[in-house]
Amino acid sequence: MDKTIKIQVRRYLPEKQPDPFWQEYEVPLEPKWGVLDALIYIKDHLDGSLSYRWSCHMGVCGSCGMMVNGEPALTCATFLEEYQPGPIRIEPLANFKVLRDLIIDTDDFMGKLKSVKPWLITDEKRDITDGENRQTPAELKAFKQYTLCINCMLCYSACPVVGLNEDFVGPAAIALAQRYNYDNRDSGNAARHDTLLAHGGAFDCTLIGECSRACPKHVDPTGAIQRYKADGAMEYWKRLIWPKAATAPKNDGIVKQID
Amino acid sequence: MTRYGPDEYDVLIVGGGGAGLRAAIAVAETDPRLKVGVVSKVYPMRSHTVSAEGGSAGVIKSNDSIDEHIYDTISGGDWLCDQDAVEAFVNEAPKELLRMEHWGCPWSREPDGSVAVRSFGGMKNKRTWYAADKTGFHMLHTLFQTSLKYEPIRRYDEFFATTLLVDDGRCQGVVALEMATGRLHTIAARSVILCTGGFGKAFRFTTNANIKTGDGVALAYRAGVPLKDMEFVQYHPTGLPFTGILITEATRAEGGFLLNKEDYRYLQDYNLGKPAPQPVNRTMELGPRDRLSQAFEQERQKGRTIKGPYGDYVHLDLRHLGEQHINERLPMVRELCLKYEKIDPVTQCIPVRPVVHYTMGGIDVDINGATCVEGLYAAGEASCVSINGANRLGSNSLTELLVFGARAGRAAAEHAKQAKPFSAKLAALARDEEQRIEETFCKSGEGKTSGDSIASIRETLHHQMEAGAGIYRDEKSLQTAKETVLELQERAKALPLQDSSYTFNTELTAAMELRNLLELSSAIIESGLLRTESRGAHQRTDFPQRDDENYLKHSLAHRTEYGATPRIEYAPVTITKWPPKERVYG
């Protein structure tokens, strides 16, 4: 080993000891190695008990988000050389319950994603024989940015509101709702208002913008939330003052289980 | 229909990638009374479908034809494809892609709002639908998000299937490890569909994600299903040298050049046609993947590639495409190069080398995804139908997920409706499995600091598979690999772990994955040893010609026992309208 760098990992082994603790490892400082490569090295050669999630190693599967020196980051796309001389401190993503070591509980996030009804909702059923929907490049561009979310949850870690208010549906989920709301093939805005206008919805956001700074894919959830607030405010007042004028959802697209 | 407990399903799908999710939706749409379970070792949107870049093939434009897509696929597969399967595939492809459009997939568009298509390697016409260069990502997220609206679909995220429950000749469910708690669950099902992807992780340099360890293929193999055409492993000609990250074929479809160390478009020396400034279909850089990877290897042997710290490479030159075109059509390629190679393809050449990308072989299934075990189905890269033959064409695999995921889903749903009662023995089988896992993996190795580790066995396997069963093979290299893998299987018979926790024991799952890879590697090697010809991705330097007389047939690897050589049998290739011919490109 020519050059090395120290990695300090916040470990949590609930079956062995009740509190998290720090453990330090020394790994080779190889050119092109990401923080994830260091974790793989540790697991393979130093300590088989270290646990973390990873898969694609190319920044698209969204598995390997962690706190690196206090900032949320995709560890496969964050490089050791940038942290010389070290040490590098690695912790599980902030604002989540930790299951073990660097692995967080993502069930709550998954529920929030689903709560915004992230599927194409149409008033009329379209058949394959009807062919493709037309969508010009400009119409695609209107929502394309919001399709790029990889569900890595870095924005939830960065968001101070998520940290204080566990009911907040959060940046990625609102951006995903907007991904469908701005798709010209979709007519489900009304069905999504229920979640986005409710307690924990878009209006809980205080527009600090940390989510957009943390986003590795430049989805800009802050922008998505801001745009929703304009549309949502109109709907909110309609519902309050003149409920009849409020947009009633025709359907929400859900396919029910039949017993 | 009679209902059972919470962990009993009509159709259970193992694997939550493109094929698995498409199958789940197909079951729910066939009959909303059917209960569908999806077991996956990762959250569905982490599945490796997410990494596919270039596109998904299906005839949609008026200047294209079904027959031409069929012919491209069959000739691309060096005549080892079953032609009835290819016909069904190509015919159903456009409908499946349209269905994705109706579910909201953000396909790239022409100015008039119709879906855009691009050229792809080995394809005569433009027929590859794409969503910039993140097609797999968008398809997977579209399928995942769409799947959320179906109440009958229940997911078991981060559950690792360890065995199939087979009794009375029928597959009736799985045992799965809940990774968060370490609990083993018995999940009963009338039909099971394996959609767990391929096994590129048997090799060192690969575009494949960490999860691509062929778990479902190994489950079927252990349950007595033969594995078809395992010797055919696809090298993608353009991966990044250190990480193996895929640089999509779409770079070449958009006009990229491959250059050797003399800045020469070397493909012209390998029967792939003459260079032209604009891309020409089925020519040069748009030749099929097997031929391009083989050309690289020959250039390397001639000393005309570039030496690097992670092996030899050549240059992929996109500079003449211009920044705007690259940003619009190939944004991920630019992002990946900037991040992982610290180079900008707008102004610099991309270093690339062939890397293992796709396993044509897999679980032997028929045109509806059915295996020889009743109630057991497979789809996607885990399966071998076969539409890919000896070499898959780029952009056929994303479509394959849809067409055969849906087909397997419908067939599994029909089978489940027969509602045969479950065997009384399922609980006993599950107890046996628990005992097997304990004996193999859980005899505590805590505190163990040296000796045989998962990593050292895995590293040796990677090295041997590349050296012995890589782009070019011969009897000697395969024989050496065979002996090494047998030794490794012996070493991996019992794999004591350092980690004794129940909560997220990723060392335990890594050990299981390694054993799966070892079993599949021995099937790759044995099938390759016995196929004494060269066809598609299987190139034997000691038998350089295609031999239709003796080997126009599928190999079927049957498992004998753990750590023993598989038995290889053969089955005929279905030829309908396209008799074998010479493969001609350029």
A44 and B112: CB-CB below 8 Å?
no
Q: Is the pLDDT of residue A247 over 80?
A: no
The mean-pLDDT minimum among B42-56, B492-506, B544-558 falls in B492-506
Q: Match 């023995």 to its residue by tokens.
A: B425
At B2, the pLDDT band (50, 70, 90 cuts) reads very low
Whether B578 and chain A come into contact, CB under 8 Å, resolves to no
When scoring B50, B151, B240, B513 by the number of chain A Cβ atoms within 10 A, the one with the most, hence best to mutate, is: B50
Report the pLDDT value the prediction gives residue B444, as an integer from 0 to 100: 54
**Mean pLDDT across B232-255:** 96
When scoring B340, B450, B497 by the number of chain A Cβ atoms within 10 A, the one with the most, hence best to mutate, is: B340
Name the catalytic one among B118, B190, B236, B353: B236
Report the pLDDT value the prediction gives residue B495, as an integer from 0 to 100: 82
Chain A CA closest to residue B210: A55
Average pLDDT for chain B:
95
CA-based nearest distance B80→chain A, Å: 31
Name the catalytic one among B190, B204, B252, B282: B252
- Partnered with residue B3 across adjacent β-strands are none
Q: Is the pLDDT of residue B63 over 60?
A: yes
CA-based nearest distance B499→chain A, Å: 5
C-alpha–C-alpha distance, residues B417 and B9, integer Å: 11
B residues 486-515 closer than 8 Å to A (CB)? 497-499, 501-507
Looking only at the bridges linking them, the beta strands covering B362-364 and B383-384 are: parallel
C-alpha–C-alpha distance, residues A109 and A210, integer Å: 18
C-alpha–C-alpha distance, residues A119 and A188, integer Å: 9
Minimum-distance CB partner of A13 among B43, B109, B501: B501
CA-based nearest distance A57→chain B, Å: 7
Q: Match 């349209």 to its residue by tokens.
A: B98
Radius of gyration of chain B (CA): 23
CA-based nearest distance B160→chain A, Å: 14
Q: Is the pLDDT of residue B494 over 90?
A: no
Q: For A51-83, how does the pLDDT look when each residue is reduced to its tens digit (9 = 90+)?
A: 999 999 999 999 999 999 999 999 999 999 999
B112 and A134: CB-CB below 8 Å?
yes
B531 is catalytic: no
At A221, the pLDDT band (50, 70, 90 cuts) reads very high
**Mean pLDDT across B145-169:** 97
Whether B112 and chain A come into contact, CB under 8 Å, resolves to yes
Domain A4-104 has CATH 3.10.20.30: yes
Whether B307 and chain A come into contact, CB under 8 Å, resolves to no
Report the pLDDT value the prediction gives residue B3, as an integer from 0 to 100: 41
Could you give the angle at which helices A171-181 and A107-115 cross, rounded to 10 degrees? 30
Radius of gyration of chain A (CA): 22
Report the pLDDT value the prediction gives residue B4, as an integer from 0 to 100: 43
Domain B238-353 has CATH 1.10.260.30: no
Peptide bond into B386 cis (omega under 30): yes
Q: How many CB pairs under 8 A join A and B?
A: 179
The tokens describing A127, both together, are: 């058949």
C-alpha–C-alpha distance, residues B393 and B413, integer Å: 30
Q: For B386-415, how does the pLDDT look when each residue is reduced to its tens digit (9 = 90+)?
A: 999 999 999 999 999 999 999 999 999 999
Q: Match 């290739």 to its residue by tokens.
A: B573
Report the pLDDT value the prediction gives residue A248, as an integer from 0 to 100: 77
Number of C-alpha atoms within 13 angstroms, CB side, residue B75? 19
Q: Give the phi and the psi of residue B54 in degrees, each rounded to 5.
A: -65, -45
C-alpha–C-alpha distance, residues B453 and B511, integer Å: 9
Q: Is residue B520 a contact partner of residue B199, using CB atoms and an 8 Å limit?
A: yes
Question: If DSSP codes are grouped into helix, strand and coil, which group holds residue B175?
Answer: strand
Q: For A2-35, how does the pLDDT look when each residue is reduced to its tens digit (9 = 90+)?
A: 799 999 999 999 999 999 999 999 999 998 999 9
A55 and B42: CB-CB below 8 Å?
yes
Chain B CA closest to residue A251: B149
Domain ranges of chain B: 238-353, 427-572
Minimum-distance CB partner of A128 among B95, B455, B504: B95
Chain A CA closest to residue B29: A255
Number of C-alpha atoms within 13 angstroms, CB side, residue B474? 5
B252 is catalytic: yes
**E strands, B509-575, in order:** 539-540, 553-558, 567-572
CA-based nearest distance A148→chain B, Å: 8
**What homologous superfamily does CATH list for A107-245?**
Alpha-helical ferredoxin (1.10.1060.10)
When scoring B100, B139, B141 by the number of chain A Cβ atoms within 10 A, the one with the most, hence best to mutate, is: B141
State whether the Cα torsion B269-B274-B276-B281 is positive or negative: negative
Minimum-distance CB partner of B50 among A49, A60, A259: A60
B32 and A256: CB-CB below 8 Å?
yes
Report the pLDDT value the prediction gives residue B450, as an integer from 0 to 100: 44
Residue ranges, CATH 3.10.20.30, chain A = 4-104
At B1, the pLDDT band (50, 70, 90 cuts) reads very low
Whether B452 and chain A come into contact, CB under 8 Å, resolves to no
Chain A CA closest to residue B505: A51
C-alpha–C-alpha distance, residues B368 and B388, integer Å: 16
- ipTM strictly over 0.95? yes
Closest residue by Cα to residue B23 from B6, B11, B9: B11
Cα distances from B530 to residues B230, B232, B543, B545, in angstroms, run 11, 13, 11, 15
Whether B99 and chain A come into contact, CB under 8 Å, resolves to yes
For the structural domain made of B427-572, what CATH number should be given?
A: 1.20.58.100
Report the pLDDT value the prediction gives residue B452, as an integer from 0 to 100: 67
Report the pLDDT value the prediction gives residue B446, as an integer from 0 to 100: 53
At B449, the pLDDT band (50, 70, 90 cuts) reads very low
Closest residue by Cα to residue B559 from B520, B529, B532, B531: B520
Residue ranges, CATH 1.10.1060.10, chain A = 107-245
At B44, the pLDDT band (50, 70, 90 cuts) reads very high
Q: Is residue B250 a contact partner of residue B328, using CB atoms and an 8 Å limit?
A: no
| Residues above pLDDT 70, as percent of chain A | 100
- Cβ-Cβ contacts under 8 Å, B499 against chain A: 48-49, 51
Closest residue by Cα to residue B350 from B241, B446, B454: B241
Residue B434's contacts (CB-CB under 8 Å, 6 or more residues apart) are B175, B184
**E strands, A108-206, in order:** none
Minimum-distance CB partner of A254 among B33, B149, B497: B149
Minimum-distance CB partner of A134 among B3, B43, B113: B113
Whether B114 and chain A come into contact, CB under 8 Å, resolves to yes
At A259, the pLDDT band (50, 70, 90 cuts) reads confident
The tokens describing A21, both together, are: 């603790």
Return the ∠ at Cα B11 (arms to B405 and B228), rounded to 5°: 50
- Cβ-Cβ contacts under 8 Å, B148 against chain A: 113-114, 118-119
